[in-house]
Structure 1
Amino acid sequence: MMTRVPMPPPLPVRNGVGPTRLRVPTSGPWATIAEYVVARFDHLDADGLYRRFDAGEIVGVDGSPIGRGTPLGAHQFVWYHRDLPVEEPVPFHEEILHVDDDLVVIDKPHFLPTTPSGRYLRESALVRLRIRLDNPDLTPIHRLDRATAGLVMFSARPATRGAYQSLFEKRQVAKVYEAVSARPPGWNSGDLPIVYRNHIESQRGRLRVVVDDAREPNAETEIDVRGTGVSASGRAVLHTTLRPHTGRMHQLRVHLAALGVGILGDRLYPELLPEAPDDHALPLQLLARELEFTDPLSGAARRFVTRRALTEAP
């Protein structure tokens, strides 16, 4: 299967942040694209938006400026740079483990998103790294949830990006995670190891995935015990090794919760807890520990291991 290479955006990365693409309707009650944009972002100053059109800051897919008089229907998409909001810094920092001409591997801390999302734009691993390494071409090859710590790989240049992306698409990367859960009373060590399977579906706009036990499993994780004991905070805990054979959204969190050993610090599974500020004293006890694969360019065996540790491990 060929990997489709997306068309590069017509505007450059600026301050580590890529441009934003907006789909524009081809018909409607607006005479011009500018009128639609002003109506679409009615919480922003209309005069300020019109000035951005006049200054040539809004462009089409070919990079040509779109003026305030450009009629609706002339472009399907427009591109622009967002005004960067004031962000509260994430007080934890990524560690660069490996850099070469094609690949960057980092150790991501808890609470730092891999890519810009929600209220985090500059405070993301991607934007931080683009600025730190002065490389606007950096792109994540895979992602970790903001709450999860550990290894993330980035492509350093477009020419070889597809080769590394195909490793994940073809499931040719061996991934190992570890997690710490509260140990249930009377827990039986004979319950693990196990290969757990179910059907997981992520739905747009929902924080949690949907589990459908009536459908054919599409998510599979090998789960084994690393150890049991008491954590530094005095909790009775279960420390597990997780080897996902598939890569569904929230897969590891869902599978451990289904076994009655939900991960410590998880505010989504097994129960959705009310939104609250980050608890830096108890980050989600989930860590992407190892990545192992055959390099698609050199054919060499490559293995990366995190330098982080889970704070609640026994």
Structure 2
Amino acid sequence: MREITGASEQIDRRLAAGEIVLADGAVVTATTSYVEGRRRGGSVWTYRDLPSETPVPGELVELHRDEDVLVVDKPPFLATTPRGSHVRETVLGRVQAAGDPDASPAHRLDRLTSGVLLLTLRPEARAAYQELFASRRVVKTYEARVWTAGRPAETLPGVVRSRIVKERGEMCAREVAGEPNAETCLEVLDVAGGTARLWLRPRTGRTHQLRVHLASLGTPIVGDPLYGVEADRERPESFDAPLALVARELTFVDPISGRARTFTSRCDLPGEPCGPVTGNGGGTDELGGAGTPAGPSEPDHR
């Protein structure tokens, strides 16, 4: 193995720590023979070293917990699940490290979006909640602040429908001609300082749907590095300039208990970061508890 990898110190360290195993789970030691390894399946397994990651600022705030689900407020810049260069600094990574090894997101939020996210805690409950989201039986409400220099807010339509596609390997999604596969309801809440604050209720779940729809209307979301105004697209990513998009509310009938449930994010619409909350953590049924950090305290960094 040393000859194959050229990493003798790393191999010695992992052998000593019991981090190299055979296909049947038996730990490889310095005295494990080639013949024994072949007899036990032939393959050798170990954990790969993870690259260093920039810590993401903001705590993961617990809004609600019961036997089946954990509902949290996700800060901006924190990925939902491990992908690419984001492994430890993800919602799933933090929740599992805090003591919930079976946690699994029932849906996803874009890395740049903050707000309410639901995870299942038991493998037995996972399918019911994932199907709830997949079948679009959850009403999702987002809050966004958009630029209005390109279009007065009062001229925005109440519903946007279009066809959105995102090719594998491309960063951006785009609208194309054809049968609509994406629908978003809009409501203007207020207008101030060249921006407008909106409620958004997507009826479908295409990648970057809200960002694409608002950009196509001439009112891109403030701070959007992909679909935003030129200044936002050219600005280097900074924890001090988050995307002004919050997943504000989830409403659904619980697939296990049958109760009507609503969970509301306490995140400020950026630019202020998510932080710990006090009082009711956002769940409207009797199971909702106080908002508390879902894991160890972390420095404000994203």
- For the superposition of Structure 1 and Structure 2, which TM-score range results when normalised by the shorter chain? 0.7 to 0.9
From 246, 249, 255, the equivalent of 1:287 is: 246
What TM-score, normalized by structure 1, do the two folds share?
0.73
Quick one: distance in 1 between partners of 2:50 and 2:153? Answer: 52
Identify if the C-alpha distance between structure 1 residues 79 and 225 changes in structure 2 by more than 3 Å, giving closer, same or farther.
farther
What stretches of structure 2 of length at least 5 have no aligned partner?
273-302
CA positional deviation for 1:191: 2.7
Q: Which residue of 2 aligns with 1:266?
A: 224
Within the alignment, does 1:200 sit opposite 2:160 as a pair? no
Residue by residue over 1:184-233, the C-alpha shift from the partner in whole angstroms, topping out at 9 and shown as x without a partner, is 2661513332x1111222222211123222x2111111111111113xxx
What stretches of structure 1 of length at least 5 have no aligned partner?
1-33, 39-43, 231-235
**Residues 82-121 of structure 1: pairs in structure 2 closer than 5 A:** 82-121=48-87
**Residues 81-160 of structure 1: pairs in structure 2 closer than 5 A:** 81-132=47-98, 134-160=99-125
Q: Judge conservation of contact 2:153–2:191 (CA < 8 Å) in 1.
A: no
Within the alignment, does 1:189 sit opposite 2:147 as a pair? no
Quick one: distance in 1 between partners of 2:22 and 2:222? Answer: 47
Quick one: distance in 1 between partners of 2:70 and 2:166? Answer: 29
Residue by residue over 1:91-118, the C-alpha shift from the partner in whole angstroms, topping out at 9 and shown as x without a partner, is 2111100011110000011111112223
Counterpart of 2:56 in structure 1: which amino acid?
A: V
CA positional deviation for 1:45: 4.8
Within the alignment, does 1:164 sit opposite 2:135 as a pair? no
Quick one: distance in 1 between partners of 2:201 and 2:261? Answer: 17
Q: Judge conservation of contact 1:192–1:225 (CA < 8 Å) in 2.
A: no
Quick one: distance in 2 between partners of 1:59 and 1:198? Answer: 52
Identify if the C-alpha distance between structure 1 residues 158 and 228 changes in structure 2 by more than 3 Å, giving closer, same or farther.
same
Higher RCO (CA-CA < 8 Å; seq separation 6+): 2
Query: Percent identity at matched positions?
Result: 41
What TM-score, normalized by structure 2, do the two folds share?
0.75
Q: What SS does structure 2 have at the residue aligned with 1:167?
A: helix
Counterpart of 1:218 in structure 2: which amino acid?
A: N
Quick one: distance in 1 between partners of 2:91 and 2:6? Answer: 31
Paired residues, number: 260
Residue by residue over 1:16-75, the C-alpha shift from the partner in whole angstroms, topping out at 9 and shown as x without a partner, is xxxxxxxxxxxxxxxxxx79xx6xxxxx75546766699673555x6577999689xx89
From 190, 206, 218, the equivalent of 2:181 is: 218
Quick one: distance in 2 between partners of 1:198 and 1:49? Answer: 53
CA positional deviation for 1:121: 2.0
Of residues 238-247 and 177-186 in structure 1, the stretch that sits farther from structure 2 once superposed is 177-186
How large is the RMSD of aligned CA atoms in angstroms?
3.0
Within the alignment, does 1:249 sit opposite 2:207 as a pair? yes
Q: What SS does structure 1 have at the residue aligned with 2:261?
A: strand
**Residues 57-76 of structure 1: pairs in structure 2 closer than 5 A:** 57=20, 60=23, 63=25
Q: What SS does structure 2 have at the residue aligned with 1:239?
A: strand
Q: Which residue of 2 aligns with 1:30?
A: none
